[in-house]
Every structure is written in C-alpha cells, then in structure tokens.
A and B are shown apart, each in its own frame.
Chain A
Amino acid sequence: MAAVRTRSERALNRVAIAAVLVITLIFLAPIYWITSTAFKPRNLATTIPPTIVFQPEVSPFVKLFAKRSQLRERPTPEHYAAAPWWERLVFDGGEKVVRSGRGEVQLSGYPSRFMNSLIVAITSTVLAVGMGTFTAYGFSRFKVKGEADLLFFILSTRMLPPVVVAIPMFLMYRAVGLNDTHWGLIILYTAFNLSFSVWLMKGFIDEIPKEYEEAALVDGYTRMQAFFKIVIPEAATGIAATAVFCFITAWNEYAFALIMTNRRAQTAPPFIPSQVGSGLPDWTVIAAGTFLFLLPVAIFTFLLRNHLLRGMSFGAIRK
C-alpha cells in the first residue's frame, strides 16, 4: 500500500496533517487559556481584545493561598521601590498581601480543600486497587460459580447515576455521622472505583501465565506467597495504570462531594466553583486554583499515555 503512492495521495495526506494540527490546537486552546489566565495580573484577565502577550506574574497564586481580608494594602510608589523582589511580585492592581498580627499570612480555604482532595483520592485509590487486585486474582485463577453474573454485577454498580445513589447515602451517612468526613467520601469513591479496578486488573492478571505460579507452588511456595512474590510484581504496571485511573476519577468527582461535604472534608471540585460568587469574580485567582488542580492529572496523563486507551475503553472492547 505504502509503495503505491500517487501525487494526489500525498497531497491528501498533507491536508490531513494540517487538519489534525488545527484540531489539536483547538482542543488545547481552552486549557492553554486557563493556564495563561492563572499567570496574568488581574487587570489583564478581562480585557477586550483578550491579552495574549503579557508579563507572567505569580500574584494570582499568592492571592489564592492568602485569606481575602488580608489583601487590602495599597502600596505607594516609594513603598513599591523599597520592597524586596518577592513582595514586588505580589503587588497587583493596588493590592498587596498584608501580614497578619502574628507576623504570618493566614491561609485561604484553598490549601485545605486541596489537601482534602489528596487525602480522599489517595486513600480511596489504595483501597480500590488493593481490593480490586485480590478480587481480580480470585476471578482469574479460581472457578467461581456464576462468574459472569458476578462480574456483571460488579460492573453494573458503576452505571448508576451518582445523584440516584446519593440520596439514600446522604440519609445513611447522616444517621451514622459520616457526613462531611474524609472517610465518608473515601468509602463512596472506593465503592465507585472498585468495579473498574476489578475489571481492569482481571485483564492484566489474565495475561500472566498460570505456569509462573504453578512453578512456584512446585518449589514449595504457598498460594499466598506465590501471589505476593510472583503475581504482584508481574502485574505491577497494570496496578500502576489502574491506580492512576482510580485516582483521576476520585480526584475529579463532584456530585458526591457537593452533597456529602460542606466544610471540614470538602474537596476542591465543589470548592473552586463556589468561589465565583455573584459580583465580578477575580478570574486570575480562580484560574490559578484550577491550574494547580489540573496539574496532577496532566502529569499522570503524560506518564501513562500508553495505558490510556486500554483503561478508557475498559470492558467495552475486551474479548
């Protein structure tokens, strides 16, 4: 096929390359725009025409982390000239971070929400992948009565709309005091990710030859030892890929977090939109919060790009 290349075929290919590049640029533009807004001084965030070229600033990030009430002081030109460079960085639109009485800047709500997101996403990922790996091994290596039905049951738990499950969960959590706690969200996200983890891990474990463990059993290992010393290391990349998928899902979840938390255990997805308010929002600060929130997912996407196809189409295209 490649050998018989006509001139029109090559021209067509060039058009396709150009089209793909344009599509990619259009798809990345929104992400570029939010990232660049995160580094803009406030007065350039909402200009018409939009500002493309500007001097990047870190002031949106400073404002993101500092309590709003401490962003009042207006610097005079002398004040500005006398300030050390790191303070100059945060001068913006006449605002400057003012140190509180105790000599420290008080933190805004964002860092704690970010930490909550980390705690909930990491813990639920460890639980879902751990349980999922055991269960997948069980299904992969042993005869299970009604295996297909059980696997379908596991998958079906992911098909329910979150809002449908959220109403009874809210009532149950309120009754047992799990509302607005880290564990409340962790349990929900574990349940949500478990089905996915079982299906994905079963695919990975099915591909490890049974003979490996059988050889180990002959060598005098117990089944448990064979599982931990042979199967787990062989499945390591699969476990890593599954973990990242579970992490991203838990990290991005919104509906449950909105319903089940309000202050103590609130994660970033319901918090960031709640900061828009009704007046003129400071889009640079919102963009900074968004940018930091997207960063882990963007990094994982690049690290795990080769596993993405398989994960995203889990079960759907499996034989």
Chain B
Amino acid sequence: MATVVMTSLDSKSRAFSRGLSDIKIRNLFIVPTILFLIIFNIFPLIYSLGYSFTDFRASTNAPANFVGLRNYRELLNDPFIWSNFAITAKYVIVSVAGQVIVGFGTAMLLNRDIPFKGLLTTLLLLPMMLSMAVVGLFWKLLYDPSFGIINHALGFGRFEWLSNPDMALYAVAITDIWMWSPFVMLLSLAGLSAVPKHLYEAAAIDRAGPFYTFFRITLPLVAPILMIAIIFRTMEAFKTFDLAYILTSQPTTEVISIRLYKMAFQEWQTGRSCALAYIVLIMVLAITNIYVKYLNKVKER
C-alpha cells in the first residue's frame, strides 16, 4: 500500500518538472468550458435583465426607455398570461401522468421473462430520439379528421383532434406521451431491475398477494427513480414549445413558451418579453431546486 502511494507521489512530482504542470493542465482543461458557458448562457441572461426594465422593441430603431418595474407589474396583472400558465400546468399534469402510467406499466411488463427483451426495448426507444418539430408534423397527418389513420383505426369517423379547442391540448399531450413514455419506461426498468430478488422470494414464502407485493415491495423501492423521471419530465414539459407550436395553433394550446415566442418575435415587444422570460426563468429555477434537493436525498440512500 505504502509503495503505491510513494509511486504516485513520485510520478506526480516528476511530471511536474516535465512539460506542463498539473495545475496548468487542469486550468487549461476546465477554464475554457466555464468561460464559454458563462459567455453564452449567463451573459445573455444579464443582458436581457437590463432590457426587461425597458420598453425596447427590436423591430424599430427607437432607443430603449427605462420603465422600471412596469413590464413585470403589467405581466403579473395580465389575466391572459396567467391563462398561459394555467394551460402549461394542465399540459404538464396530463402529459406527465400519461407518461408515468404508460411508461411504468410497460416497464412492469418488460420486467418479466420476455423473449427479445433487448430488441423490444430498443424499438420502444425510437420515438424519443426524434425531433419534436418533425414528430409534430407527422402526427398532424395521423390526426387528420378526414384521412388520418388514428380516426380510422379507432373508428371515430371525422373526429376533430386539432381544430377542436377542447381536444387540441389533449392531442398534443397524447403525442408527447407517445414520445416520452419510453423515457419513463427506461428509468423504471433500471429501478425495477435493482429490486433485490430475495425480497420477492420472502414475500412468496409468506404467501403475500400480488397487490401486497406491489405496494409494499416494488413501488417503495422504485419510487425514488420514478420520482426522478417525473421531475425530469415535468421540467421538460414546462419548457414545451415545438410540439404544441407545430401541431396546432389553438388559443387553448398556447403554453407559456409559445406566448413568449409570439411576444418576442411576432409582436416584437422585446423589453416586455425579456421580463416574461425572467418570470419563467424563476419558475424553472424553483422546479430545478426541487429536483436537486430530491437528487441529494436519493444520493444519501
């Protein structure tokens, strides 16, 4: 043991005299990345914080006037913005719940003795590797009321999925569930395979029923990893833009990202949209915080 330590110290001191020192190499390897991320992630945020207190419009050359907290005050008092948040919340709940049910259910099935398990799992991964914009586009074809394959397969006749305001948000959520249930399935599968087999054997000896086994053994042990999948998907669903934007242009599917995009790049209310971006950012940070807290809790186990 002592010799190993000696060699390692010795080699380090010799490396120090040859070529670059370890400290220089460390800085050379780490500092550019940190600087790059600060320039392209943190600096823009500071830049837009400045604009969020102005009435700047990027479409005109008029100079920006300082308006203080007016943008924030108006946004927080705007019922339309709150309805965008409500739509986003509804969307997040429906699509994440759907993904957990479908994804966890599939994982439970796959956790048995299934032939070609690896191949089936790989095939199920395909949807989440695709572009959300392109997925949105081809689901438009599938949802088409007159010749879409979905209505034909389900025998719904000329059911309107995307042009019906009450249905459109669910249609977007269904597509999202199709795309991301495999993600929940993957994490659940990892959790399920980590449950010690002897617990099930003990339960079988005690003649425990399937419900008891599921709620007392499987679920509690898979819960942490399932929770991570839920938090992860919640964060992603909160950011949704592509899918809803491509699939339909209903007011009932205008999630907060779409509102933000329209405000910034169609109405060109740059200052106001910077303020809204900050409100969204604070919400994301709040969700992220919950995520990190939970992550640490899981790590402690």
Binding site for B on A (CB under 8 A): 1-2, 4, 12-13, 16-17, 19-21, 23-24, 27-31, 33-34, 37, 46-50, 131-132, 134-135, 137-139, 142, 144, 150, 152-154, 156-157, 159-172, 174, 187-188, 190-191, 194-195, 198, 210, 214, 217-218, 220, 222-225, 227, 248, 251-255, 259, 268-270, 272-273, 276, 283, 286-287, 290, 293-294, 297-298, 300-302, 305, 308-309, 312-313, 316-317, 319
Contacts and interface: CB of A to CB of B under 8 A. Distances in A.
A317 B190 CA distance: 9
Contacts, number: 289
Question: What 10 pairs between A and B have smallest CB-CB spacing?
Answer: A138-B29, A222-B19, A252-B131, A168-B44, A168-B48, A254-B133, A217-B11, A191-B40, A161-B239, A142-B26
Nearest to B278: A164
Given A30-B142, A154-B34, A293-B134, 16 more contacts: A24-B123, A27-B123, A27-B124, A28-B126, A153-B34, A160-B41, A163-B257, A170-B264, A222-B15, A259-B261, A270-B133, A273-B137, A287-B138, A305-B121, A309-B190, A316-B187
B178 A160 contact: no
A185 to B, nearest CB: 12
Contacts of B292: 152
B147 interface: yes
A20 B7 contact: no
29 contacts: A1-B200, A4-B204, A13-B113, A16-B112, A24-B123, A33-B138, A33-B149, A135-B32, A153-B34, A157-B41, A163-B261, A163-B264, A167-B274, A168-B44, A170-B264, A171-B58, A174-B58, A191-B41, A218-B10, A248-B129, A252-B130, A268-B134, A273-B133, A273-B134, A293-B131, A305-B121, A308-B125, A308-B186, A316-B187
Given A217-B12, A272-B137, A20 B120 contact: yes
A154 B257 CA distance: 23
Contacts of A30: 127, 138-139, 142, 178
A191 B37 contact: yes
Contact of A224 (B12, B25, B37): B25
A31 B135 CA distance: 9
Given A217-B11, A272-B137, A172 B47 contact: yes
A217 B14 contact: yes
Interface in B224-256: 225, 228-229, 232, 235, 238-239, 241-242, 246
A153 B37 contact: yes
Interface of B: 7-8, 10-12, 14-15, 18-20, 22-23, 25-26, 28-30, 32-34, 36-37, 40-41, 44-45, 47-48, 51, 58, 102, 106, 109-110, 112-115, 118, 120-134, 136-142, 144, 146-147, 149, 152, 178, 181-183, 186-187, 189-190, 197, 200-201, 204, 225, 228-229, 232, 235, 238-239, 241-242, 246, 257, 260-261, 264-265, 270, 273-274, 277, 280-281, 284, 288, 292, 295, 299
